[in-house]
């Protein structure tokens, strides 16, 4: 009887441990954002503006989040005019392994990225530091380049890589979204390691240029919704989980 009880206890412990090790990560998300100025504008009179945009990624049980492989970051009532400004593409940056050769005026934003990295088979492991700088370059009309960079000790592995991004229609044609997929080598810098973004802070500058007798902005507002500007982010994890987080900016 005692052997049976001990065996049952051991089996129960093994089941609990297995549940801890193999429990699927369930991500949580928060989004905040604002524009400057906080004005609606119109199609006839678009308002150039800059924006601040931040998001955090957590995990329901306090584990390391599942890596997010695709982002779609949407702003209601906004449009971009990359074709009017100098450009620097992701291909250019990656070929040079640096952004030092980017054209003056092509840098449109900057920020930071905080990551939680650890062993793929242990979602509780966040022991590997990798915090990166972020720069956003105009990639031409409808395109952008997201440049990530960092060196030890901020990131144990030197990173200097640009991600190709594009602007797509959002909010039923009433807004614009920046969409990009994260390359596999950033999700897994080393075999057996998962790298999950936990916080991003970014700022896009208010940039203007005269074109055909009018002042145009890199980002422009052409409408708002009830005095607010809806912001949505669609997150798609490597594990196939799709979630949307939203917020409202003043407008």
Verdict on whether the full-model pTM lies above 0.95? no
Give helix then strand counts, H and E, for the chain: 3, 16
The number of beta carbons lying within 10 Å of the beta carbon of residue 147 is 25
pLDDT (tens digit, 9 = 90+) per residue, 62-119?
999 999 999 999 999 999 999 999 999 999 999 999 999 999 999 999 999 999 999 9
Beta strands in the chain, from DSSP E residues, in sequence order: 27-36, 47-48, 50-59, 68-76, 78-80, 107-119, 132-138, 143-150, 159-170, 175-181, 193-204, 208-211, 214-217, 219-221, 228-237, 242-250
Q: What backbone phi and psi angles, to 5 degrees, belong to 212?
A: 55, 40
pLDDT surpassing 60 at residue 235: yes
Task: Copy the structure tokens of residue 91.
Answer: 């291909």
């Amino acid at each position: 009887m005692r052997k049976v009880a001990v065996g049952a206890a051991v089996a129960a412990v093994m089941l609990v441990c297995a549940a801890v090790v193999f429990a699927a990560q369930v991500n949580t998300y928060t989004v905040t954002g604002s524009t400057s100025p906080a004005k609606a504008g119109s199609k006839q009179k678009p308002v150039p503006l800059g924006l601040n945009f931040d998001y955090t990624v957590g995990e329901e049980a306090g584990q390391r989040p599942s890596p997010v492989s695709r982002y779609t970051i949407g702003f209601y009532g906004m449009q971009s005019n990359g074709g009017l400004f100098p450009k620097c593409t992701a291909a250019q940056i990656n070929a040079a392994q640096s952004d030092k050769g980017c054209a003056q005026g092509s840098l449109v934003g900057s920020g930071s990225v905080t990551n939680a990295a650890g062993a793929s088979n242990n979602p509780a492991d966040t022991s590997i530091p990798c915090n990166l700088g972020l720069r956003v370059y105009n990639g031409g009309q409808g395109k952008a380049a997201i440049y990530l960079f960092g060196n030890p000790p901020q990131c144990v592995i030197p990173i200097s890589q640009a991600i190709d991004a594009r602007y797509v229609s959002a909010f039923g044609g009433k807004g614009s979204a920046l969409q990009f997929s994260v390359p596999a080598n950033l999700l897994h810098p080393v075999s057996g390691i998962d790298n999950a973004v936990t916080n991003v802070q970014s700022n896009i500058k208010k940039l203007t240029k005269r074109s055909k007798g009018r002042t145009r902005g890199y980002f422009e507002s052409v409408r708002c919704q009830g005095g607010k500007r809806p912001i949505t982010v669609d997150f798609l994890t490597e594990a196939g989980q799709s979630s949307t987080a939203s917020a409202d900016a003043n407008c």
